[in-house]
């Protein structure tokens, strides 16, 4: 059955002035507009397309890949706001609608927002929700201590940054443990530190259990580990870059790098800093 929000392999059935009609195994048809039709297409060919509803609410196929998929989260730009909701750029011709009831606070045109893509089962329309927490699982957390996970920041609070974990769970990176600036929409790797009774998860940006290096040196070492063991910055990097990434002066950065080098925690290479094994 052809439903919105899915990538489907469909068959070229018949050509029309508007484009080719594609069919599934049950014979259900959907239009692939001319602009997306390969010039060499012939009846019986198979093509992979994304299904959504166009501006006239007609079921439509496209070969364009949206910036967000069904039942997933992504950070998208707000391109317009109205009295009933907001519209987001998700990479397709028809902008993605966020109903006002699905906004925890009013979205602002020109800014970005983390949203969840869902299908309204009554209308078969694809809609976005900015109320992230309600779509995240809070029971049956299937993650182990120190498991490496993919994170996306969806909210900053007084104590830390709320994270989407593996497109499924909710966690927190506390501000006193964040070694770099974090903004809503940022993605990064993290590690499970503690799973609480309410299903929320405390996170670390570095693996649990390694020797903790204190102070500014520890911040830099954390950043090197988060980059996979190599950081493309040196004591010759611009002060503005150092300040933006670490929130410290170039002098403090050089002193901290010197401490790591003397302790044999890192080696200094011409184009960056590498963590020793």
Q: What is the pLDDT of residues 225-277, one digit of tens each?
A: 888 889 999 888 998 888 888 778 888 888 888 888 888 889 999 999 999 87
Let me know if residue 139 belongs to a domain.
Answer: no
pLDDT, one tens digit per residue, over 109-128 is 999 999 999 999 888 899 99
Counted domains in the chain = 4
Strands, E assignment, 157-232: 160-165, 169-174, 187-195, 201-204, 230-231
Let me know if residue 239 belongs to a domain.
Answer: yes
Let me know if residue 18 belongs to a domain.
Answer: yes
Q: What is the structure's pLDDT at 213?
A: 61
Terminal Cα-to-Cα distance of the chain (whole angstroms): 54
Do 228 and 256 belong to one domain?
yes
Let me know if residue 68 belongs to a domain.
Answer: no
Let me know if residue 52 belongs to a domain.
Answer: yes
The CATH number linked to 247 is 1.10.10.10
Let me know if residue 152 belongs to a domain.
Answer: yes
Residue among 82, 92, 96 at smallest CA distance from 7 = 92
Does the pLDDT of residue 143 top 60, yes or no? yes
The CATH number linked to 185 is 2.40.50.140
The last residue of one of the domains, among 133, 161, 177, is 133
98 burial (CB, 10 Å; 0-12 / 13-18 / 19+) is buried
Does the pLDDT of residue 72 top 90, yes or no? yes
Q: And the tokens for 259?
A: 């401490």
Beta bridge partners of 31: 21, 60
Do 93 and 53 belong to one domain?
no
Distance CA 86, CA 9 (A): 32
Domain that includes residue 249, residue range: 215-275
């Amino acid at each position: 059955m052809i439903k919105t929000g899915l990538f489907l392999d469909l068959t070229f059935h018949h050509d029309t002035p508007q484009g080719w009609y594609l069919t599934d195994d049950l014979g259900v048809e959907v239009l692939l507009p001319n602009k997306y039709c390969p010039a060499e297409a012939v009846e019986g060919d198979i093509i992979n397309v994304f299904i959504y509803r166009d501006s006239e609410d007609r079921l439509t196929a496209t070969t364009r890949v949206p910036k967000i998929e069904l039942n997933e989260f992504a950070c998208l730009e707000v391109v317009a706001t109205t009295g009933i909701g907001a519209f987001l750029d998700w990479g397709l011709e028809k902008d993605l609608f966020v109903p006002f009831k699905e906004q925890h606070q009013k979205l602002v045109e020109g800014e970005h927002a983390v949203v969840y893509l869902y299908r309204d089962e009554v209308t078969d329309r694809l809609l976005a929700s900015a109320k992230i927490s309600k779509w995240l699982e809070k029971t049956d957390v299937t993650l182990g201590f120190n498991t490496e996970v993919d994170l996306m920041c969806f909210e900053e609070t007084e104590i830390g940054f709320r994270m989407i974990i593996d497109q499924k769970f909710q966690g927190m990176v506390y501000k006193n443990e964040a070694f770099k600036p974090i903004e809503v929409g940022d993605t990064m790797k993290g590690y499970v530190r503690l799973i609480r009774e309410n299903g929320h998860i405390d996170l670390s940006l570095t693996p649990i259990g390694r020797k903790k290096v204190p102070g500014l040196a520890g911040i830099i070492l954390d950043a090197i580990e988060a980059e996979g063991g190599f950081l493309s910055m040196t004591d010759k990097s611009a002060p503005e870059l150092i300040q933006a990434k670490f929130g410290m002066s170039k002098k403090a950065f050089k002193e901290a790098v010197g401490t790591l080098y003397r302790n044999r925690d890192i080696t200094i290479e011409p184009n960056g800093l590498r963590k020793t094994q």
